[in-house]
Amino acid sequence: MAEGPLQVRGEVLATRRVGAYRHLTLVAPGIAARTRPGHFVALAVGGPDTALTLRRAFSIYQVSTQGVFGGTVELIFAVQGAGTAWLAAAASRTPVDVVGPLGKPFALPRDRVSATLVGGGYGSAPLFGLARSLRSRGCRVDVVLGAASADRLFGALEAKRVATTVEVTTDDGSAGTRGWVTDVLPAVMERAGTEVVYACGPMGMLRSISEVAAAAGVPAQCAVEESMACGIGVCMTCVLPVVGEDGLTRMVRSCVEGPVFLGDRVRWDALGTVPADAVGAPPMSDPDE
Amino acid sequence: MSDPDDITVRTVQPPRPPQRARCDLTTHLGAIELPNPVLTASGCAAAGRELDRFFDVAELGAVVTKSIMLKARSGRPTPRMAETASGMLNSIGLQGPGIDAFLEHDLPYLRERGARAVVSIAGGSVAEYTELARRLRGAAGVSAIEVNISCPNVSNRGLVFARDPAAAAAVVTAVRRQSAPSVPVFAKLSPDVTDIVSIAHSCVAAGADGLSMINTLLGMALDLDTMRPVLAGVTGGLSGPAIKPVAVRCIWAVHAALPDVPIIGMGGVRSGLDALELVLAGASAVSVGTAIFGDPGAPLRIRHELETALVDRGFARFSDAVGYGHREQT
């Protein structure tokens, strides 16, 4: 399989609403064949002469290498600003510059293990391709989906097709159990005999999932969400404190070293800071530059 | 739409592109000659490795590295970035591995790839810059040194070197003295000064072989939901197309005052025409920075676009276009 990212001129094939989110299908020749679950793409938004200068990064929901379009890439996103609004309104055949696949994907187990997949909001998008990969390896797959409300859940029906069991939680109780994914996760893991957890969603949720997994002595592979300017490893904006194999904390780029990290390696309590024991941390306060 | 499964043999040859006139893109930066004038801007291309996945970095005039400091440095907390209209603010805090790791991994990488390296250095004191230049002396593969003087001087209450003619000159003198004569030393100037020409004069008098301009402008953004500064570092450097007119003005003024001093121009370049504008103002080379974040292929694309723009205007040699905007009106 060819490796590494491509930069291609893609185009919008279709956009449709899914609850509170948008489901975008892009024709992006060559990218699909290189994509594995957990990879992401970075899109140029706004069209030519736009005032939007930075790439927008999106995790990949699924890809298709088949068909007459030379490969499609599907994304789920929420309209949050001018860039995503442009994308949501882009007509079919609108050209979109696509860079991908980017990042390190989820690591797949060699053995037939019991895997529990946990997604928050549209963060669940990359978990369905992952679930199919795990199933094809003979793994048991259980899914837990959580969101603020029913319209912000993504993929509950699809989860039922790929998973042995599906649990749903919402903050307001409009679907499934009222509460957070971590309220139901210990029971799911107990029942499924979970040997590995995969998670994608907001940072606070990933932190809680990592704690539950750690308490059960199970590794958690977490795909993080950090804001990025480039997605390719040059801008140094998407860093977070991660403990390396040598036990030292470094500010690492989530776009190239991640977005998938082992939950017990991320210094969740120190997000948004540079821990004093990080490699190269300033001795005291850092003067202005 | 093209279909990769379509393997029908084409019987009709596509029309051959017309034989296009070419432009000699060779440029000189002091003692060195580069095959073309398009470089990366410091801090926007790491040390070339990431961009090499998208195009051959040896195709560029040179790769200007992210500023190297003596020791490993973790940089600032996040958020480090805020998108602004036609630009962005950054507050990275010079995160980097330090000179040892740079000399061990990054410089040899660029050399093996056949890319020319302009090494950007940054320090908090004249002594640190001196030591950095000493470490680079004799290291294989250093085409030029770009001295990032937009750093706080720890021995003068954090006053940025680039805003003080005497401090800027002290750094340049030290680096020039430590560096091999064949390696040109460029001082990177900040536009956040009252009179950039006087800073330019100081740097050149101190031995700078050339000048790079402009560094980012200090800016700030507030989040209107949290009603707090967006950046953890509160203020940040503004870059991108929004600052191009500032770059043109600075390059114009310095080239007018010091016409024989080569300038590496940067600031908001995202097309070949943007690059040409900086060249006409007086730049002998152009660095592409923030545009890379939106388009990893930007540097090579801009090189092609610049060549086309020069040919369209009848330039057979790039060097003829440098400072061409300054000629007397006839």
> Does the distance separating the beta carbons of A229 and B81 come in below 8 Å?
yes
Strands (E), chain A: 6-18, 21-27, 40-43, 56-64, 72-77, 95-102, 114-120, 140-147, 165-170, 177-178, 196-200, 220-223, 239-243, 249-253, 260-262
> Does the distance separating the beta carbons of A289 and B152 come in below 8 Å?
yes
- Of B23, B44, B151, B203, the active-site residue reads B151
- Both tokens assigned to B47: 């040390």
Q: How close is the nearest chain A Cα to the Cα of B88, in Å?
A: 7
Residues in chain A within 8 Å Cβ distance of B78: 226-227, 237-240, 271-272
* Nearest of A57, A72, A71, A216 to residue A123 by alpha carbon: A57
Which of the 8 DSSP states describes residue B9?
P
Nearest neighbour of A44 by CB, restricted to B150, B237, B295: B295
Residues in chain B within 8 Å Cβ distance of A29: 2, 4
- State the Cα–Cα distance between residues A7 and A28, nearest whole angstrom: 9
Nearest CA in chain A to B78: A272
The reported pLDDT for the residue numbered A288 is 43
Q: How close is the nearest chain B Cα to the Cα of A105, in Å?
A: 17
Q: How close is the nearest chain A Cα to the Cα of B328, in Å?
A: 32
- State the Cα–Cα distance between residues B323 and A245, nearest whole angstrom: 53
The reported pLDDT for the residue numbered B16 is 58
pLDDT digits (tens, 9 = 90+) for B121-134: 999 999 999 999 99
> Does the distance separating the beta carbons of B95 and A286 come in below 8 Å?
no
pLDDT in tens, chain B (330 residues): 444 444 433 344 455 555 567 899 999 999 999 999 999 999 999 999 999 999 999 999 999 999 999 999 999 999 999 999 999 999 999 999 999 999 999 999 999 999 999 999 999 999 999 999 999 998 999 999 999 998 888 888 888 999 999 999 999 999 999 999 999 999 999 999 999 999 999 999 999 999 999 999 999 999 999 999 999 999 999 999 999 999 999 999 999 999 999 999 999 999 999 999 999 999 999 999 999 999 999 999 999 999 999 999 999 999 999 999 999 887
> Does the distance separating the beta carbons of A4 and B44 come in below 8 Å?
no
The reported pLDDT for the residue numbered A69 is 74
Which of the 8 DSSP states describes residue A10?
E
> Does the distance separating the beta carbons of A68 and B3 come in below 8 Å?
yes
pLDDT in tens, chain A (289 residues): 578 899 999 999 999 999 999 999 999 999 999 999 999 999 999 998 899 999 999 999 999 998 777 799 999 999 999 999 999 999 999 999 999 999 999 999 999 999 999 999 999 999 999 999 999 999 999 999 999 999 999 999 999 999 999 999 999 999 999 999 999 999 999 999 999 999 999 999 999 999 999 999 999 999 998 889 999 999 999 999 999 999 999 999 999 999 999 999 999 999 999 999 999 998 754 444 4
> Does the distance separating the beta carbons of A237 and B74 come in below 8 Å?
no
Please say if B44 is a catalytic residue: no
- The verdict on whether omega for the bond into residue A259 sits within 30 degrees of 0, i.e. cis, is yes
**Residue of B89, B271, B293, B295 to mutate, testing the A interface (most A Cβ within 10 Å of its Cβ):** B293
> Does the distance separating the beta carbons of A226 and B78 come in below 8 Å?
yes
The reported pLDDT for the residue numbered A42 is 97
- State the Cα–Cα distance between residues B32 and B30, nearest whole angstrom: 6
- The verdict on whether omega for the bond into residue A101 sits within 30 degrees of 0, i.e. cis, is yes
> Does the distance separating the beta carbons of B2 and A54 come in below 8 Å?
no
Q: How close is the nearest chain B Cα to the Cα of A17, in Å?
A: 25
Q: Quick count: other Cβ atoms within 10 Å of Cβ B260?
A: 6
- Asked if residues A31 and A41 have their Cβ atoms less than 8 Å apart, the reply is yes
Residue with tokens 């040390």: B47
Nearest neighbour of B240 by CB, restricted to A27, A53, A256: A53
Q: How close is the nearest chain B Cα to the Cα of A124, in Å?
A: 24
* Nearest of A101, A107, A121 to residue A40 by alpha carbon: A101
Structural element, H or E, at residue B120:
strand B117-121
DSSP character string of A225-257: ----SSSSSSS--SEEEEE-TTS-EEEEETTTT
Amino acid identity of residue A227, one-letter, is S
Q: What count of Cα atoms within 13 Å lies in the side-chain half-sphere of residue B244?
A: 23
The reported pLDDT for the residue numbered A289 is 43
Nearest CA in chain A to B271: A49
CB under 8 Å to B195, separation ≥6 — which residues? none
